[in-house]
Amino acid sequence: MDFVQFRRNGLKIAQSFPVYPFFFITTIVLKRNIAYNFFRDNTYGEIFGCYFLLLAFTVIIIGVINLLMDNLRKSGLAAISLLIFAISYSEFLAAFENLNWFVSSFPKHNFATFSIFLSIWIIISFILKKTKKDLLTMTLWFNVMFLVFFINEVADVVETSRIGNVSSALAKSEIPPLAKASPNIKRDVYYIIFDAYTNSKSLKEYWNYDNSSFMQALTNRGFYIAKDSHSNYELTPLSVSSSLNSNYHSFNDIVKNIPDEAQFYFKHKYSSSIINYFQSIGYSFINYSIFEYNKVPAIHHIITFNIDPLHNFYSFVFYQTCFGKIYDKAFSRLQKNTAALWQDNLETVEMVNELVQQKSDAPRFVYIHFVAPHPPYYFTENGSIRPESEAIKEFNKDYYLSQLIYTNTLALKTVDAILHHAHVAPIIIVQGDHGSRIIPGKKGDDEATSILNAFYFPDSQYQSLYPSISPVNTFRVVLNQFFNQNIPLLKDTSYLLARKYFFVPPEH
């Protein structure tokens, strides 16, 4: 067979047989593998097991559709439109983020969304069924296009394999051994987190809201405001644990050590080298947060998980599909005790107020965590309570802003109680753990880590601080300035390791 004949036969096969659905499935598995390895080392058994399940699903889909179409090329086109919708549902939705006219009122991750896309697929299938065209050229182009996608994904796999996963990509910077030399004055230290509190620049840009009155109120009380601060991670457990250990961590250190039954981050029992240090020099640790740290229980247990999207590769892939999203909506991956959440935030203010009035023989390191302005958005800006049916609308920008405004009131009440009742001028850090995470697209990547970051130092010496300081350097500065340490600062870096796969906000 000469080359010309070989080329003709190859072209005929490429035009006649739709292999692109299989290129697509292979590409998806490779893509999911890269994403999953950000969080946890994968196993070949899970990869190939998931791959063959998806291949079998694809064969069944094409076979069933071909029974109705009685034309393999038509069946291939109908199958790929269904597979793209079903298997890469997250990316399919994200692709519409920049189409403001389309998604301004478009429902996300719910049964209405499923119904709309299913209706579109039925219309496409009906058109294919009725068409008289042979679809040879379209089949050829789809085969070539998805082959290119596959080759590009293979290149990405090779590149990420060369770099390694997050465990090796993020250099873990251990704190040097800390001297136990006690400071002349042991001051109470308050580390106050306001969950999902973005910074003033983001509020101005994305909400057209001027937060300067709150910033000025903090400044008037003696605070330094780090105006360009960003969190190191966009997930609460990663952000807080990084700050309370004053270093960047690998995902293996967090995820691999979590027992399977613990189900993701929120039941993990964390430890903190910073808290260890304070306890070693005679401090008591007070934990008013949502996490257990150093064997001191959390005071609020707001979140448990029904399924863990990182439990294994199968669940990770499933969670990105339309079936996973429907399951998530129907059975609620996150079971939140939201009915009591607004009360927890108010009670935390009262608990702090009572604490600061109590005399203590030992100085205190106090970790306080408000789940605000993070959703659910129960608070209106004047503090009245919004109905739960409205409060759970986590991507509502207006509700986020109104809760943030009332969060300012809670923040000032807390700070004022500490400053008013302190017997010795304390050290106070008021910080967001990440941004709102509800701004879509590339702009949202920056907002997702933009945070409130304010410091109160009793000596008013803020030369060691700077506008872009991030949480990983918070206690390096505090220990150097007030506890006779000499710890080098780290480069301030933000890692967006989960936003693409777990937080896909709709366009507003």
Q: What is the pLDDT of residues 57-97, one digit of tens each?
A: 999 999 999 998 889 889 999 999 988 888 877 666 655 54
What integer pLDDT is reported at residue 3 of this predicted model?
57
First to last CA, the chain: 60
d(CA 508, CA 501): 19
Is the pLDDT confidence value at 38 over 70? no
pLDDT average, residue stretch 294-305: 63
Q: What is the pLDDT of residues 160-211, one digit of tens each?
A: 555 444 333 333 445 666 666 667 788 999 999 999 999 999 999 999 999 9
User: In the chain, pLDDT over 90 holds for what percent of residues?
Assistant: 41
Q: How many CA atoms lie within 13 A of 265 on its CB side?
A: 15
Neighbours of 99 (CB within 10 A): 11
The answer to whether the bond into 376 is cis (omega within 30° of 0) is yes
Q: What is the pLDDT of residues 425-442, one digit of tens each?
A: 999 999 999 999 888 877
Handedness of CA 328, 329, 331, 337 (dihedral sign): positive
Residue 371 amino acid letter: V
User: In the chain, pLDDT over 70 holds for what percent of residues?
Assistant: 73
Mean pLDDT of the chain: 80
Positions of CATH 3.40.720.10 in the chain: 178-302+337-502
Question: CB under 8 Å to 112, separation ≥6 — which residues?
Answer: none
Of 304 and 456, which is predicted with more confidence? 456
Q: What is the pLDDT of residues 463-494, one digit of tens each?
A: 999 999 999 999 999 999 999 898 999 999 88
Q: State whether CATH 3.40.720.10 applies to domain 178-302+337-502.
A: yes
Report the Cα 380 to chain-centroid distance in Å.
25
